[in-house]
């Protein structure tokens, strides 16, 4: 007998004593899951996180609904004065963000370590030497 166990769309982990919170998003980030993801990310910010890093490394499908939610969460982070960054090391996630010119708005990074270091340093721009050419088609 095979039983499917549904994984939560978001798991949250403590990024350290300085108030950085890392939210790992799992599975598809789409019309069926965006409400759950949005609620979890807003809860992180309402919990007074100093910074929120959203790790999309375990996301399979990612499209416009995911981008819209992340922009909304980024705006909320700005309102509450929290740092914000997104990790998109997979092409399936990075490409839609890049194609919509949202990599700077979403403060896109390749790894969790880069994103955490950036929010800790108060640098919210994406690292690198002028772009994300390694995500190019």
As a whole-number percent, the residues of the chain with pLDDT over 90 amount to 66
pLDDT tens profile 68-90:
999 999 999 999 999 999 999 88
Whether 5 has a pLDDT exceeding 50, the answer reads no
The predicted structure's pLDDT at residue 18: 86
CATH code, 10-123: 3.30.750.24
The predicted structure's pLDDT at residue 3: 44
**Could you tell me which of 23, 83, 84 has the C-alpha nearest to residue 57?**
23
CA-to-CA distance for 82 and 92, rounded, in angstroms? 27
Which carries the bigger pLDDT value, residue 97 or residue 18?
A: 97
What is the rounded (10 degree) CA torsion for 122, 126, 127, 131? Answer: -160
The predicted structure's pLDDT at residue 127: 38
| CB atoms closer than 10 angstroms to residue 9 | 22
Which carries the bigger pLDDT value, residue 106 or residue 9?
A: 106
């Amino acid at each position: 007998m095979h039983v499917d166990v549904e994984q939560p769309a978001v798991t949250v982990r403590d990024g350290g004593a300085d108030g950085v919170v890392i939210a790992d998003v799992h599975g598809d980030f789409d019309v069926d899951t965006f409400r759950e993801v949005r609620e979890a990310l807003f809860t992180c910010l309402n919990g007074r996180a100093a910074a929120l890093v959203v790790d999309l490394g375990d996301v399979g499908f990612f499209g416009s609904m995911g981008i819209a939610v992340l922009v909304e969460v980024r705006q909320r982070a700005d309102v509450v004065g929290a740092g914000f960054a997104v990790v998109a090391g997979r092409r399936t996630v990075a490409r839609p963000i890049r194609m919509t010119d949202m990599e700077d708005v979403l403060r896109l990074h390749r790894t969790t370590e880069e994103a955490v270091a950036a929010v800790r340093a108060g640098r919210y721009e994406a690292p690198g030497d002028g772009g994300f050419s390694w995500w190019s088609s």
